Each structure stands twice: as structure tokens, then as C-alpha cells.
Structure 1
Amino acid sequence: MLEELEIRNLGPIRHALLDFAPIRHALLDFAPGMTAITGETGAGKSMLLNAIRLISGASADAGRISAGADETRAQGVFAVPEGSRAAAIADDAGAPEQDGELFLTRSVPAKGRSRAMLNGHSVPRGVLAHVSGELVTIHGQADQLRIASASRQREFLDAYAGDRAALDAYHAAWQALRDMDDKLARLQGQEAQARQRADYLKDAIARIDRVDPQVGEDADLKSKRDRIENAAAIAQGVGGAVAALDSAQMGYDDDGGAGVTQLIDRAVQSLRGIHVGGVFDESADRLEAIGGEIADVVLALTRQVDDGEEGADLDAINERIHDLDELTRRWGPELDDVIAWRRQAGLELEDLDASPEKIDELRRRREQLAQDAVDAAVVLHAARVKAAQELSRTVSGELAELAMSGAGLDIAVTQRFDDAGSVEDAAAALEAHGGDDIAFLFTPFPGSPQLPMGKSASGGELSRLMLAMELASAERHRDDDALPGDSDGRTGMTFIFDEVDAGVGGKAAVELGRRLAQLARTSQVIVVTHLAQVASWADAQFVVSKAASDGEGVSTAVTRADDEDRVREIARMLSGSESETSLDHARELLAQSSLD
């Protein structure tokens, strides 16, 4: 929802007959519901739409900068619900929403390039367009041609149908078919390269498998080799150490010299023989503990001598280490890397297997995927046909209430592969969004031929047609499209209507205002209007007028009309004056313009 719009130094569109003045500064605080923008012809109401178009990523024109200013600037503040698509787009662009709000800003200097900003971050103009596309829909003469494109009509119909399951199922089936086509094309188009790569992987895998390396094996083998190569020195050193610590372990008798263990035993016995206790027993205990530690060391060293490493085959160990080193030089640097590469190479080899048998298998799978995609397209087609019939009927009924009696909308949904001779032919007709050609055909009056939408209606008629379409969509999704936490059940979209009242008057104008107010129950609606019968239905009203000269010339002012100010503006719109009669009529019209 648009909460605030600020405009600075926005100049007018040049017009040969009308004398527009620039907006030096305007700050509009919008609220939920319906807002009317009114004012005298030529006051510059269209500049408000131009400001919104600017923050929506439209092309910038330095010629619209007011005279004497360095730049024009527009900023819109939008409230967005958590998890909305607009918030997600902003987050992806590195400009996440702040306290549930998005700030869309555009500045156009007199010289140089325009600048687009999102939440204070500079972004490409296309990002603003992407974000604003989720927030604002403008229905004005300059914006209506977008709905004339087949893609926009398809998107509107799919949104109206609301059959997300059918769309998702088709997208998944179509993408699986595309992926298989890409895989087959890659195998067939690069068969020679694939064979070479497959041969290399097969040879490499076979070589690694012959060696069959184990995690940490190279480090264990090198440690073992070091022990074997130094076996004599190890035996001599360990023998001397053990003899010094415990002569009995080396087969010496008492006369051959006592080791540390024996000497400690003698010292313990001497201390125990005192039979006094105290420090002597404590010292004996400590010596016994030391003796136990030394005995453990002797045992560990003796085992090293008894391991018999010198009997191992040093040549076999060196050969194994050489084989492992060869693997790490090619696919390392560590043995763990070799093992990981072997595992990944096996997976890649499966994809590169371009044997005739493999390709035949993929082709059979591709036939099934093609059938799945065609079946999903048929389901999606049925959902679209049903939605098209309902939308056409509802919109045509709404048009009758909008001073367009006899006008109608027909939506043609044509399946491209109706006459396909095979599943393959049908699958070839599919595109990313299905197998349907969708056309919105408008009949402006009875007896008129059906013509493509956008080429068969005036600006006012097309605006009312779009209003009828938005009303139909809002009514269909009144319950499921409400935003979480919004007690009014409003959606996050802001609809802006310009020229919707062209060629309308009297009772039809009242009904037009009623329909806009009805749409405002589920969405924010901003309407630029000349008709009091339309403006009276609004929840808020802004008046665009020429202000007195401020030393820089005449400028355009935008003010909110409340209470008696609004009554006077409605009276002016009704009769061009503020007589007591017109004021009474204005009060009566405001009182009657309520959906309750």
C-alpha cells in the first residue's frame, strides 16, 4: 500500500493549449481505501501520476525539472507485509524492507544520469520497476497498452484462475522435459568429447581402484617404513635404556649391575625397615609410585623391541607408498582428495556415458517426460478455459453497470496442439507457460466485431474495462487473497485509475464511483477524476491547484481536502461555484456515497 508520496521540483508536461505550473514540493499521505485526486482542468493532476511512474522505473526526462532547479525528485513509501514478493525482491537486491516499509526513490538531475534508490541503496532502474510491479498497477492512457500483450493477458487470467497446483505441475513437467532435451543434445552434439572424457574417467577410476587407497594409509605406511629403516638403532637404544632401568629385563643377575628399578626397590626396603613412619613411609610411598611409572615405561619400550618390524617386507611397503604417491600427484594433494575425486568421477561418468544403450534409455525416458508435460498442459488448459468463461461473464456484467451497456469481453484460450499427430508434435508446441494461445477480445458496442484488447477502445473505455477486470479478480479472491494481519482484508496492491470517467456522467458516474469504492474494500485505489459523483465515494481527497507566485513563478499545490474544504471542492466540481445550493447538493452527495 502506498503510504506517502513526496515530490520536489517536478515540471509539467509541455502542452500547447494548457498552461501547467511545476510542483515545487508536495507531500501526500495516503490511507487505505479510495483516494480521489481532483482539480481544475490544467491544474496538473497528471504530474502526480508522472511522479509515481518515475519511482516505478519509467524513463526519465530532464525536461520535466522545474525551471531554476538542479533536479527533480520523487519518493514513495510503501507498506509491505512480511514474506511478500516485493519484500523478497528488495532483499535479493541488497535493500531489505525496514520496519515493514519500502522506500522507492528517483532523482533526475538537470545534467547527468538519473538515479534510482531502494531503501537508501542505489539500484538499477529495472529493480525499481520489478519491485513497483508488485505494488502499483496504473490504469491510464499511457499505461493501458501493457495489457494488450499476450503475456500480460495470460498472467492476468492465471492470477484470476488461482490454480497454482496446475501451474506448478506444468512448470515442473516442462522443466524436466527441457532438462532431458538439454542432456540428450549435450551427449549427441558433443559425443566425441564426451567419449574422450568418459575414457579418461574410466582409466583413472580403474587405476585408483587397483591401488584401492584407504583413508590415512599413506601416513601409516611412512611411519612404519621409518621404523623398519631405523630398526637396528631402535633396538640398540631401547636395549640400553631398558638395561639401565631394569637389568632383570635384559637377563642380568644381581652381580651384573643393578638397574634403576632394582635400586629403587632397595631404597624402599631400607626406608620401610626403619619402622618409624612419618616422613620415611611417605618417602617410601613416593618411591614406589616412581617405580611403578618406570616399570610402565620399561614395558612399553620392551614391546617396541618385540614388535618385529625388522621382519616386515620393506620393499613391499616402499612399493605401496610409491603407488599412493602417484595417486596424490595426479588427483591429490592428499589421499583423502584422491578418494573424494574417485567418488565424484564415478557420478560424472554416469552422466557422460554416451553409449548407444544409454542414449536409447534416455530417449525412452524423454518420451515419458513429453507425455507428462502434455498431460499437465491439458489440465492447465482446462483450468484456463473455465476461468476465462467465468471472467468474461463477470466482466461483461460489470461493464453494463459502467455506462458500457452492450460491451463485452471474450477470452479465447486456444490449445496449440489440438491437431497434433503425436505426443512428440504436441510437446514441440509447448512453451514455458503452457500450450495455450490466450487473447482478450473486446466488443465495444453491440454489432461491433471482436477486436484485440487495446486496439478497440478509447482511453476511458479501456480504463473502465480494466476496472471491471480488477473488480472481478478482487471478488473472486476476496477471501484467499487477503494479507495476513490485515483486519480489513486488503491486498498489498495499489490501483491507480486515470481517465476512467471519460465520457461518463449522471447515474453511470455514480455507479462508477460505487465500483471504485467496492474495489477499495480489498485494495488501495487512487483515482484521478473530474466528476464529483466519483470523487464523493473516496475516503480521502486531494486537490491540485495553482498556487500564488512565490518569487519563482506560479507553482502547483497539492492539498488535502477535509470537512468543509471537501464540501466546497465537490460543489465546485458539481456546478463550478460555491453557492448555498451547490454546497447543499455536495453535502447530500457525500452523505449518499457510502457502501454501508
Structure 2
Amino acid sequence: MHIRSLGVIRDARLPLGPGLTVISGETGAGKTMVVTGLGLLMGERADAGAVRAGDDAAVVEGRIQVPEDGAVAARTREAGGEVDEGELLLVRTLSATGRSRAHVGGRSAPVGVLAEISEHLIAVHGQTDQLRLRSGAQQLRVLDAFAGAVVAKDLAEYQQVHARWRTLSAEHDHVAGHSAERAREAELLRLGLEEVERVDPQPEEDVALREESDRLAHVEVLREAVSTAHEALTGEASGGDGSGEGGADARVDSARRALSQAGDHDPALSGFAARAGEVSYLLADLATEVAAYAQSLEADPLRLAVVQERRALLTSLVRRYATDPSEGVAGVLRWAGGAAERLLDLDDDGRLETLAKERDELEGQLRALAARLSVARRAAASTLEERVASELTALAMPSARIEVAVHTGHDLGPWGCDSVELLLAAHSGAAPRPLSRGASGGELSRVMLALEVVLAGTDPVPTMVFDEVDAGVGGRAAVEIGRRLARLARTTQVVVVTHLAQVAAFADSHLTVVKTDDGSVTESGVVRLDDEGRVTELARMLSGSGSGTARAHAEELLNSSRAEAVQETGAGRTSRSRPARAARGGPAPVGRSSTAARKPRGRAT
């Protein structure tokens, strides 16, 4: 991981290899910024105040080895990024103005993608995680994680049924609680539909009635127009025999005859004569139709009254029911269709009873699944108690015992009917008390570590980060915490921020955050310690100084932890007994010595 301009850290590189990596340093040196940087890579909310004073932006870069056929690689490709030979590059940039950007696999991506990916890569445990462990919901998650597939399958089915049951219950309650309003709405719709049905408007009827009304109201005007037109066409008043000599049809016919007679001398005139004949026929047809129209025109006051009355009824319907009055009868018919469908929804017709029946059937399924979950959780709780008790014994709490109490209620929650409570009896004879009230900070740290060790086989996350989870403990308990972290690191990449030499002595790799202060600018860098540097740092952590006694104690811690590693794992695990040596007399600057070629897949490098 590479950090620039974050907090007191100007520029630091952290080589994170396999096994147990310890990060130490004086108070205020910037150890917390290492965890903050990891949090940024995990997509956590960014705080512009974390940008180093005077700089424009902070940048955190992480290189992580991941399987190319795994979920992380697949999500990276979905986001447009690439995994290069099993290595994934994650970058988070935080500007001093508060703007945050993320890059995944070389491509810009939403910060949320970092959060999705990190769920498969890194788990950070610190004091806030201990607080979460105090909550009943988190304790239930711990038990379910330990139970594994036995609970996971039934829980997934339960949650699917539960979602459907909640939807049906809400719909049933809505129908039941709004029955009066629904009845009033249904009655108004029925009255409206009855009125529309009584009037029985027909498509385009309002247009046809408007035209008929105009015709009946202006009969005399129409008669005069028809008479004038007929006389112009035929030379006779409307109703004549159509043989007048002054009409348009007679004149066109005269033109046709003249052109036809001269056509013998020029074929072009014969064509004109033919066209004149066509016009003559059209005029004759038009005159006939005009005459027929004139005969159909009759003043009918009674019919006019009927039409006007019908138009008034339709206008009333349009005003009351059409969403857009300009649509006329079409808008009324559209409303009627929608109202009929809505009325079907509002009419109960046993709908409330149907919803109640379906809801009760789903509730029966839920209770059966919840009962199976309870049985599985109780069985897992018994095993978890035994496993955690064994780990607590190794963590210098031999008389402590954990009780995992599974309480089954009646309410159907999203996780079943169970609530889980972790109870701790810190010593023999003590009554078990809830972790939220009965555990000190040091005890809670050890309980959480014990749970992590027990859950290590079920947690697919390849990298675990512990941020001062050893706070509040010391002496033998601190040694046991270091020992358990080392054992956890056999199968998982473990990074620990600690202030305890007893824990740091078990590290495969020891990094220290070094602070320099020239009176104006504070900077921090990270160095990897060789043997001599580790002794010096452990002595400082033990006594605050590098006295001979402190150094002797530090050497004793290192030798003891190495001897344990060799004894427990044999020749297959010798990195702790033969660390890489730098120049004698001080730490090796990070970046000058190469990391081991042994890089486990899915781990931060």
C-alpha cells in the first residue's frame, strides 16, 4: 500500500506480505492513518480534514493479488477495469475540498465499487468493531456465520418468504384500513358510470350532431346557396329541367361541339374536345347532386330541438368526466373505461379474505422455517461456546466462559424469531453477564479475537486488519494474543496495529511508523525493521527507552516467539526464525529490500 499526503504521512510505502505483519510507532506517529488509508481503499466515507495540511489531495494506492476467475476480478471487469496477471490496482484520491475519486483496475469507477470489492478482500477490526459486537444484531450475525450453510440456506428461503409476507400484510392492512374511503370512491364511480350508460354516447356522435345542428339552423341560407349554384350550372332555377341555354353545362357543351368539328383539321383540337366532354359530364353530375340536395332541405324545428337537447347532454358529460374537454365524447369514453377497471379493483368481492388467506399461509411457512433456524442456531451455539472457551483459555482467561443464549420470540423479523445474546462469565463463580455490560475493554478484545480465530475457517475474506484490539491488556494476556494472531496468520493474511511488544514479537514482518519533527512540518514514513531494528523497537515499546534491560527483554521475546514457531510448524515455517537482515545497527528503509516471492492469492501486497 502506498500513502501520500494523508494526515501526518507525507509519503509512505507499506510492503504487506503473507503471514502476520505488525505496525508499531510512537503515539501520534501516524499508525491510525494506515488504518484510515485502508478504510479509503475499502470505500469508506472520506473526510477532507484527513488531507495533509498544505497539500491539495491525499492518495492511497493498494495492489492486491486476486484470483482472475473470482468474484473480485469479475466485478472489476464489470466496472471497466482490468486484473493484470492476478494483481488488482485500487486507488482512492481525496482532495482538500472534499471531492473523492476512485480507480479500480486502472479505470475510474464509483466509490461504491470499492466497497463492493473490499467485502471480498479485507476485514478491519478495531474499537468500533468491539462496540458493534455489543449489539444483539451483530451477535446474531456472528452465530449465523459460524453455523454456515446449515443456517444460510434456510435463512435465504425465510427472507424471500418474509418479503412476500410483509407485502401481502401491508396490502391487507391497506385494504382493511381504507375500506370506507374505497366504498365512497366506488359509489361515485358507479354513479358516474350509470350516468354515462344512461346517455350512451357514441364515438364521434358529438361531431355528427354539431354538423346536423348547423344545417337545421341555417336551412334558408343553404337553400339560397343551392339555388344560385344550380342556376349558374344549368341556367335554370333550382327544380327546373336543367335545359336552360345560359347555364355552364350548355356553354361547355357548345365549346365541345365547336372543337370537335374543327378536329378534322388538327388532332390537337380533338383532344381539347374530349376534355371538354369530360367537364360537361362533371357539370351535369354536379347539377344533379345540387338539385337532389335542394330537394332534401327541409326546415324541421322539432328535429333541431332534439339535436340541441342531445348535444347539451353530451356537453354535460364532457364537462364532468373528460380529463381534457377538447377531446369531447372520446374523453368521456376513455374515462368510463378507466373507471370500470378501477371499480373492479375497489369492489371487494372477497379480496380482503383472499389476502388474509394468502398472508396466513405465508405466515405458516415462515414459522416453520423460523423453527428450523432456531434449532440450527441452538446447535451451533453449543459448539461455538466450546470453541470460544478453548480459545479464551489460550488467551489467559482459563476460567472465563461464553454463553450463547438464543431467545426465540413470537415476532417474525427479517432474521427469524430469534435474538442472540453473548454472555460472559469472566471468572469461575461469576454469573454470566451480557457483553454490553459485563466485559471490560481488554476482555472484549480477547473475546473478539477468540471469535475471529474460531470463525477464521468460515470467513472467506483473505486479509484481516486489527487496529489496537489488544488495548487494555498486557503481560501474559498480551503474549497469548500475539500467539493467537500468529496462528490465525497461518491461513489468513493478518495486519496488526499494536503498541504491545508481546504482540509485535510474533510478527513475520515488523513495520514501524517513524515521525520527524523539525518544529514546523511533521512527516511520517514507514520502515521495515531488521533483527537489530526489531530489538530496538521492542525495547522502546516495553520501556520507552533502549536500556540494556529492555533490550535483553526484547531479545528474549523474539527468541521465545521464534522457538514457538519452529516447534509448532516445523521446518515449513521458518520466516520468523530467519528474518531478512539489513545493515546492522538500524532499520531497513522500505523499498530497498525486496519482499518475499511468496505472495498468497487474494492478499494485499
What's the CA shift for 1:237? 1.9
* CA displacement at 1:141 relative to structure 2: 1.9
2:5: which partner in 1?
Answer: 8
Question: Closer, same or farther in 2 for the Cα pair 1:591/1:289, shift >3 Å?
Answer: same
The Cα of 1:342 is off from its aligned counterpart by: 3.8
Going from structure 1 to structure 2, the CA distance change for 1:244 and 1:448 (only over 3 Å counts) comes to farther
**Which of the numbers 424, 437, 445 marks the counterpart of 2:419?**
437
Q: Does 1:279 align with 2:261?
A: no
Residue in 1 that maps onto 2:568 = none
* TM-aligned CA distance change 1:389 to 1:363, over 3 Å: same
CA contact 1:513–1:534 (8 Å) conserved in 2: no
Where does 1:13-162 land on structure 2 (aligned, <5 Å)?
Answer: 22-24=8-10, 36=21, 38-40=23-25, 42=27, 43-51=29-37, 115=98, 132=115, 135=118, 137-154=123-140, 161-162=152-153
Residues 308, 437 of structure 1: alpha-carbon distance in 2 compared, 3 angstrom cutoff: farther
Residues 29 and 592 from structure 1, CA distance in 2 versus in 1: closer, same or farther, beyond 3 angstroms? closer
Q: 2:156 aligns with which of 164, 183, 193?
A: 164
- 2:209 corresponds to which letter in structure 1? L
Could you tell me how far 1:218 is from its partner in structure 2? 2.4
- Are the aligned partners of 1:395 and 1:468 in contact in 2 as well (CA < 8 Å)? no
| Equivalent position amino acid for 2:514 in 1 | K
Partner amino acid, structure 1, of 2:417: G
Structure 1 segment 235-274 matched on structure 2, within 5 A? 235-245=223-233, 252-253=240-241, 255-257=243-245, 259-273=247-261, 274=263
Q: CA deviation at 1:324?
A: 1.8
Deviation track 1:218-266 (CA, whole Å, cap 9, x = no partner) reads: 2332233222222332343234334434569966557512543443344
Shift of 1:208: 2.9
Among 519, 525, 533, the alignment partner of 1:557 is 525
Q: 2:513 is matched by which residue type in structure 1? A: S
Distance 1:370 1:435, change over 3 A: farther
Higher CA-based Rg: 2
Deviation of 1:321 (Å): 1.4
Q: Give the 3-state SS of the residue equivalent to 1:514 in structure 2.
A: coil
State the alpha-carbon separation in 1 of the partners of residues 266 and 405 from structure 2: 112
In the alignment, structure 1 segments of 5+ residues that lack a partner are 11-21, 89-95, 110-114, 121-126, 418-428, 475-490, 518-524
1:320 aligned residue: 310
What are the superposed Cα offsets for residues 95-129 of structure 1, whole Å, 9 maximum, x if unpaired? x97869998776788xxxxx575779xxxxxx989
Q: CA RMSD in A?
A: 5.6
TM-superposed deviation, 1:470: 5.8
Count of aligned residue pairs for this structure pair: 505
Tell me the amino acid that sits aligned with residue 269 of structure 2: F
TM-score w.r.t. length of structure 1: 0.63
Tell me the secondary structure at the aligned position of residue 472 of structure 1.
Answer: coil
Residue 369 of structure 1 pairs with residue 345 of structure 2:
no
Rounded Cα–Cα distance in structure 2 between residues aligned with 1:184 and 1:198: 15
Structure 2: distance between partners of 1:34 and 1:236: 110
Q: How does 1:508-547 map to 2 (within 5 A)?
A: 508-517=484-493, 528=497, 531=504, 533-535=506-508, 543-547=511-515
- Unaligned 5+ runs, structure 2: 83-88, 104-109, 471-477, 539-550, 560-573, 582-594
Report the equivalent of 2:174. Answer: 182
**In the alignment, what sits opposite 1:91?**
none
Counterpart-to-counterpart distance in 1, 2:285 and 2:533: 105
Cα 1:118–1:318 shift into 2, 3 Å: farther
Partner of 1:415: 408
Sequence identity percentage: 22
Secondary structure of 1:213 counterpart? coil
CA-to-aligned-CA distance 1:273-303 (integer Å, 9 cap, x gap): 3224543244345445555665676677667
CA distance change for structure 1 residues 378 and 582 in 2, over 3 Å: closer, same or farther? closer
For 1:308 and 1:119, the matched residues in 2 are separated by 84
SS in 1 for 2:520: coil
Give the stretch that moved more between structures: 213-222 or 582-591: 582-591
Cα 1:291–1:586, aligned 2, differ >3 Å: closer, same or farther?
Answer: farther
Inter-partner Cα distance in structure 2 for 1:307 and 1:44: 105
**Aligned residue identity for 2:409:** R
Check conservation: 1:138, 1:496, Cα contact below 8 A. Answer: yes
| Cα 1:400/1:434, change in 2 over 3 Å | closer
TM-score by length of 2: 0.63
- Quick one: distance in 1 between partners of 2:421 and 2:316? 67
- Give the whole-Å Cα distance in 1 for the aligned partners of 2:530 and 2:212: 97
C-alpha change, 1:182 and 1:375, in structure 2 (3 Å) is same
Q: Tell me how far 1:65 sits from its aligned partner.
A: 7.7
Question: Which residue type is aligned with residue 412 of structure 2?
Answer: L
